[in-house]
Amino acid sequence: MSKSTPATVALDGAGVAYTVVTYEYDSTAEQVGNHAAEAIGEPPERVFKTLMVEVDGRPACVVVPVARNISMKKVAAAFGGKSAQMMKPTNAERATGFRVGGISPFGQKKKVPTAMAQEAQGEPYMVINGGRRGLLVRLSPADAMQASGAFPADLLS
């Protein structure tokens, strides 16, 4: 598997240090993020999923721990909106240039506002999708925020 994706190219361009981690992606797993954490031997609180949302009809990105759920009310508030909903998968793929299951906050086709769960700040490192199913990147929360342009926010229910 090639380890070059728009996400890793963006990380390289930002001068961010990261490690590529690969695993066997299982689209039939009940919770793909938890499956990924287990497959790479990381605690779920250090493995983060990238979710595409719409806040008052505008696209946005949130990065949260795989085992946790987001509060749409908190997501809307984080982006200064009134309401939020999940983006339809086809729209998320079109907006990011990545396939669902491989969406990364780095190197998206269209740059959108990005919020990262404030819980990431307490971790020594985090693991986030690297732009392809079965390909993750391990990096510091500060580097992840810098490379994605994310801001910390209270997003979890």
CATH number at 80 reads 3.90.960.10
Q: What Å distances lie between residue 100 and 15, 50, 114, 122, 130, CA to CA? A: 26, 10, 17, 27, 12
User: Is 103 contained in some domain?
Assistant: yes
Q: How many domains are there within the chain?
A: 1
Domain extent at residue 101: 6-153
Residue 30 lies in a domain: yes
Q: Tell me whether residue 77 is in a domain.
A: yes
Helix (H, G, I), strand (E, B) or coil at 139: strand
Does any domain span residue 122?
yes
78 by DSSP, 3-state: which? helix
Asked if residue 80 belongs to a domain, the reply is yes
Question: What token pair was written down for 74?
Answer: 């908190």
1 lies in a domain?
no
Query: What's the whole-model pTM score?
Result: 0.94
How far is 134 from 41, CA to CA, in rounded Å? Answer: 14
User: Is 100 inside any structural domain?
Assistant: yes
pLDDT of residue 88: 97
Give pLDDT, residue 31.
83
Residue 2: its pLDDT value, please?
60
**Cα 18 to chain centroid, rounded:** 15
- Per-residue pLDDT tens, the chain, 157 aa: give them: 568 999 999 999 999 999 999 999 988 887 888 889 999 999 999 999 999 999 999 999 999 999 999 999 999 999 999 999 999 999 999 999 999 999 999 999 999 999 999 999 999 999 999 999 999 999 999 999 999 999 999 999 9
Q: What is the pLDDT of residue 1?
A: 54
In a domain, 42, yes or no: yes
The size of the chain, in residues, is 157
